[in-house]
């Protein structure tokens, strides 16, 4: 099987985590999440990981330069070279997406697709309220979704301008959503193989 290079996007409560786990298994690829990457870099005490630790210990957000560097380090590892990746939580901005595009161009391995799992705001809100987590108050959910919308709209436009965006309906049974995702991804992979 060809190594896939994918980004998965979706609102909180869209089922993105569940579907990402299934996609990683189906495509024998490496699931890379921003949080896991940061923890691994800090734990391994890489130069960038040590810099990130200082920022995180101060309670600040890790800036683009650091996170882009950590992503570049992770993408250069052998398992990713062999199996590709499914990025979750990165990129979050068009600037980060441009950096990712640059890393992949240097490696001669262009991205296959960015898949946006589309679930309406009212549905993800209902799902998050039903989870019953303490931080899932209606106000907190609204703030997180507003932030996601303002951050993600320019990112979706960035991927669309490059012909990389696949929007997949995230409503319905888990298996049905998974089938729609794999159909969209397989269509992308067959186009890539034909060129």
Q: Which of 22, 39, 53, 127 is catalytic?
A: 127
The verdict on whether 133 is a catalytic residue reads yes
Selecting among 22, 39, 53, 92, the annotated active-site residue is: 92
Catalytic residue, from 22, 39, 144, 162: name it. Answer: 144
Find out whether 147 and 135 touch, Cβ atoms under 8 Å.
Answer: no
Helices (H) and strands (E) in the chain, counts: 9, 5
- 113, β-bridge pairs: 6
The helix or strand, by DSSP H or E, that contains position 32, with its residue range, turns out to be strand 30-33
Can 92 be counted among the known catalytic residues? yes
Q: Is 144 an annotated catalytic residue? A: yes
| Run of H or E including 86 | strand 84-88
User: Facing residues of 167 across strands?
Assistant: 116
Query: Is 142 noted as a catalytic residue in this protein?
Result: no
Q: Which of 16, 74, 180, 188 is catalytic?
A: 16
DSSP assignment of 147-174 equals HHHHHHHHHHHHHHHTT-EEEEE--S-H
16 belongs to the catalytic site: yes
From the list 133, 143, 162, 187, the catalytic residue is: 133
Distance CA(193)–CA(187), nearest Å, equals 10
Q: Which residues pair with 79 in a beta bridge?
A: none
Distance CA 109, CA 118 (A): 27
Catalytic residues: 16, 92, 127, 133, 144
């Amino acid at each position: 099987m060809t190594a896939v290079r994918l980004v998965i996007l979706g609102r909180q409560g869209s089922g993105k985590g569940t579907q990402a786990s299934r996609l990683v298994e189906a495509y024998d690829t490496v699931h890379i999440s921003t949080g896991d990457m940061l923890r691994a870099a800090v734990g391994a005490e890489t130069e960038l990981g040590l810099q990130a630790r200082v920022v995180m210990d101060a309670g600040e957000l890790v800036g683009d330069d650091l996170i882009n560097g950590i992503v570049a380090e992770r993408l250069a590892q052998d398992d990713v070279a062999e199996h590709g990746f499914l990025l979750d939580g990165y990129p979050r901005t068009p600037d980060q997406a441009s950096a990712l595009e640059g890393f992949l161009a240097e490696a001669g391995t262009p991205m296959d697709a960015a898949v946006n799992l589309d679930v309406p705001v009212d549905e993800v809100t209902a799902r998050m309220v039903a989870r019953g987590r303490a931080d899932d108050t209606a106000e907190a959910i609204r703030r997180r979704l507003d932030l996601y919308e303002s951050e993600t709209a320019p990112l979706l436009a960035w991927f669309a301008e490059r012909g990389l965006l696949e929007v997949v309906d995230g409503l319905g049974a888990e298996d049905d959503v998974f089938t729609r995702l794999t159909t969209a991804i397989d269509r992308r992979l067959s186009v890539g193989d034909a060129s």
